[in-house]
Chain A
Amino acid sequence: MDEKMACKELVELVTEYLEGNLPDETRLRFEQHLSGCAGCTAYLEQMRQTIRLTGRLREESLTPQQQDELLKLFRDWKKA
């Protein structure tokens, strides 16, 4: 394996890296590359922001029909 990690290789390992799933040796090459590469540093940061923004999404509101049906279900259960 090539000692140095290429940007093209790094971008495919970002999720594994963030999940703490890279083998030590690969993680080391990942971090070494990162420390000298502004492009990949930006890419990693963008992926982190993407995850954060997805986390800020709320589920779409339920339709009035869904709300009614679920409330009915709840009331029926409570009565039983």
Chain B
Amino acid sequence: MTVETSLLQSLRDGDVDAFTWLVEQYHTSLVRLARIYVHNTVIAEELAQETWLAVLQGLDRFEGRSSLKTWIFSILTNKAKTRSQRENRSVSYTDLEESLHASHEPTVDPSRFNSPAAERLPNHWAVNPVSWEGIPEEILLSQETMNLVRQAINELPEHQRTVITLRDMNELSSQEICNILGISETNQRVLLHRARASVRQTLEEHLQPET
């Protein structure tokens, strides 16, 4: 029996620990995803709760054609879309458009590279990034570093934040994310790349050994 089938079985049996584990895994992500559509934390929280109820009520019908998490996220997305339409609020994609408009802007500060007109090694690193390989795990995984990663993600524009969270934290596939958010694979990758590059930048400033 896979972890997922045994989890499903526990849920169907009404095991509270299985439910608690699941909400701890995904509730915050659900609220965050809902906020993209409804722009209101209270309503987003409501939508996430409605989603959990729908999950519980739908357990017996769930056939496992998608993974459990994809199923949960798509219930939320459907509810959020309906809710935003009912309130006659077209989904604001301003932030998405902004993120994508910026897609031709470099994700690494151009001053890190030699000028395109340089005689020697144009567009090459002016100063090479320093490898992190020598950094001990206890520093990389320290509370301080992890908090910094969290903060960097929280400060990203909404769609970038959603994509990096779904992909790198909740480990959904890019196909699943495209379906959930209704965006193209290309746009998904652009958002993901920009998000990762920003977080890397923050980490680099923090981890750079003093010179």
Contact = CB atoms under 8 A, between A and B. Distances in A.
Contacts, number: 133
B183 interface: no
A50 B125 contact: no
B128 A16 contact: no
B73 interface: no
A32 B105 CA distance: 25
Interface residues of A, number: 41
Interface string B183-211: 00000010011001101100110000000
A55 B131 CA distance: 20
- B contact face: mostly helix, strand, loop, or mixed: helix
Given A6-B122, A73-B53, 10 more contacts: A6-B124, A7-B113, A8-B106, A12-B193, A15-B196, A43-B108, A45-B131, A45-B132, A50-B196, A51-B196
Interface of A: 6-9, 11-12, 14-16, 19, 21, 37-43, 45-47, 49-51, 53-57, 59-62, 66, 69-71, 73-74, 77-78
19 contacts: A7-B124, A15-B189, A15-B192, A39-B125, A41-B131, A42-B128, A42-B130, A46-B129, A46-B131, A49-B140, A49-B203, A50-B196, A51-B168, A60-B150, A61-B24, A62-B23, A74-B16, A74-B56, A78-B14
